[in-house]
Chains A and B, each alone.
Chain A
Amino acid sequence: MVLPGAKNTLRRRAFFVTGIKALAGLFGLGLGIPLAGFFLSPALKKGRQEWISIAEVTQLRDGEPTKITYRYARKDGWRMSETRRMAFVLKQADGGVMALTNRCTHLGCGVDWNSVTQRFTCPCHGGAFDAQGRVLEGPPPKPLARLPVKVEADTIFIQDAYA
């Protein structure tokens, strides 16, 4: 049995159900997008690149990468933190200067220059690189990363890899 007016009631109910769903959806988006953006904000942020002076050209050894440790104040979330980093700087044949990070391209351990074997070796899984940072053996998939470098009045500046 269909009651008189039942059709209208149903239409009215359907209208409200759709309306409520639409409102809820709108509200969910209005809240969901900002909350997701808030959560992801550090991952989406681009750090500012600054030139950091790390050494004088005269400090460099000939034909071999020179290990240089430098400190600089880095923005770490809501605070500044003094960070200590390591880079290897190498005079090129053409007189230019090249800077490599010490960060292994496999899983991020710190590589060190071995002047006896004349190669970078990684303590973690046996990765090895030549003086130019090219992979010699082990699991690393890519050569060591080069840092942007410039020389001004014999002072070497680099940009940090993680900034």
Chain B
Amino acid sequence: MSRIYRFLDERLNLGPLIRGIADHEVPAHADPLKNLSAMIYCFGGIVFFILLLQALTGVFLMLYYVPSPEDAYASVNYIQNETSFGSFVRGIHQVGASAAVVMVSLHMARVVFTGSYKKPRELNWIVGIFLLLVVAGFCFTGYLLPWDQKAYWATTVGVNMVATIPLVGDFLADALRGGKEVGSLTLVRFFVIHVMFLPAFLVFFLAAHFFMVRRQGLSRPL
């Protein structure tokens, strides 16, 4: 391992890069080894870790999942009952989704209570809000994919909530559903939003989020 690293380092001079990414001082007030309650500063990192798990398990679930009304339920059933570790992989993805929402909430609460959203970090708060929307989008679109009764009605209700927006609501709802009713088009577009559009937004906003944290450093508590 270290020999491979030395080989690469000799040629590519990785040292400064790695120091730039991984080797920086944790400020004393955010160091859980000094003060256990500083764990609250880990919430964002935990969210990131969960998102990585979601991406990994999500990619593997796509090996079997088929986003069509005829096949969706049967393919999920197949994952669940006929593949090895299928219920485990899907279980991580399912529990991970809830865990992500919980940790995002805690992360936001920490940022609010330490006043970290204030100048000069307002921009990062705004990017964070976009990330919140992306995560919510993942949850909403992912919920439909098993194509069971719960999924179907949750989406029906969710999209009808969009329809209550004055003036443009109905149009937005139709655009989201791909028509007047939840059906094949809804399933495919929710799937594609879930596995292509949202991940792209996620990567973009996460990069901005991390860039700003590193530029500005952790805020001190109030």
Contact = CB atoms under 8 A, between A and B. Distances in A.
How would you classify the secondary structure of chain B's contact residues: helix, strand, loop or mixed? helix
Interface string A117-155: 000000000000000000000000000000000000000
Interface residues of A, number: 15
Query: Which of A33, A34, A38, A79 has most chain B Cβ within 10 Å?
Result: A38
Interface string A21-44: 000000000010111011111101
A147 to B, nearest CB: 26
B85 to A, nearest CB: 4
Query: Which of A33, A44, A78 has most chain B Cβ within 10 Å?
Result: A78
Nearest to A42: B83
Contact of B60 (A35, A45, A78): A35
A77 interface: yes
B77 interface: yes
B35 interface: no
A10 to B, nearest CB: 16
Contacts of A38: 60, 63, 83-86, 88-89
14 contacts: A31-B56, A34-B89, A35-B89, A37-B84, A38-B88, A39-B60, A41-B82, A41-B85, A42-B83, A45-B82, A77-B64, A77-B75, A78-B71, A78-B75
Given A34-B89, A35-B89, 16 more contacts: A34-B85, A35-B60, A38-B60, A38-B63, A38-B83, A38-B86, A39-B60, A41-B83, A41-B85, A42-B83, A44-B84, A77-B78, A78-B64, A78-B77, A78-B78, A78-B82
Interface of A: 31, 33-35, 37-42, 44-45, 77-79
